[in-house]
Amino acid sequence: MPLPNGMPGTLVRHADMESAFVGPRHVDVWLPPGYADRPGQRYPVLYMHDGQNLFDGSRSYSGVDWGVAGAMVRVARERDFPGAIVVGMWNRPRRWAEYMPARPLYAPGAAELRAHLEQEMGGPVESDAYLRFVVDELKPLIDATYRTLPGREHTVVMGSSMGGLISLYALTEHPDVFGGAGCLSTHWPAGGDPLVDALGAALPPPGDHRIYFDFGTAGLDAGYEPFQRRMDDHMRAAGYREGEDWQTLRFPGADHNEAAWRARLHLPLAFLLGA
pLDDT at 216 over 70: yes
E-only strand ranges, 168-275: 180-184, 210-216, 246-251
Q: How far apart are CA 215 and CA 221, in angstroms?
A: 6
Q: Region 201-230: what's the mean pLDDT?
A: 97
Contact in structure between 26 and 51 (CB atoms under 8 Å) = yes
Domain count, the chain: 1
User: 6: pLDDT confidence band, cut at 50, 70 and 90?
Assistant: confident
Residue 135: which CATH number? 3.40.50.1820
pTM: 0.96
Q: Region 122-149: what's the mean pLDDT?
A: 97
Q: Which domain holds residue 109?
A: 4-273
User: 161: pLDDT confidence band, cut at 50, 70 and 90?
Assistant: very high
Could you read off the pLDDT of 245-262 as tens digits, one per residue?
999 999 999 999 999 999
User: 5: pLDDT confidence band, cut at 50, 70 and 90?
Assistant: low
Look at strands 180-184 and 10-17 and give their pairing: unpaired
Percent of the chain scoring above 90 in pLDDT: 86
Which distant-in-sequence residues (6+ apart) come within 8 Å of 175 by Cβ? 152, 204, 208, 209
CA nearest neighbour of 235 among 162, 177, 163, 186: 186
In angstroms, what CA-CA distances link 202 with 102, 132, 197, 245?
A: 13, 18, 9, 16
pLDDT at 74 over 70: yes
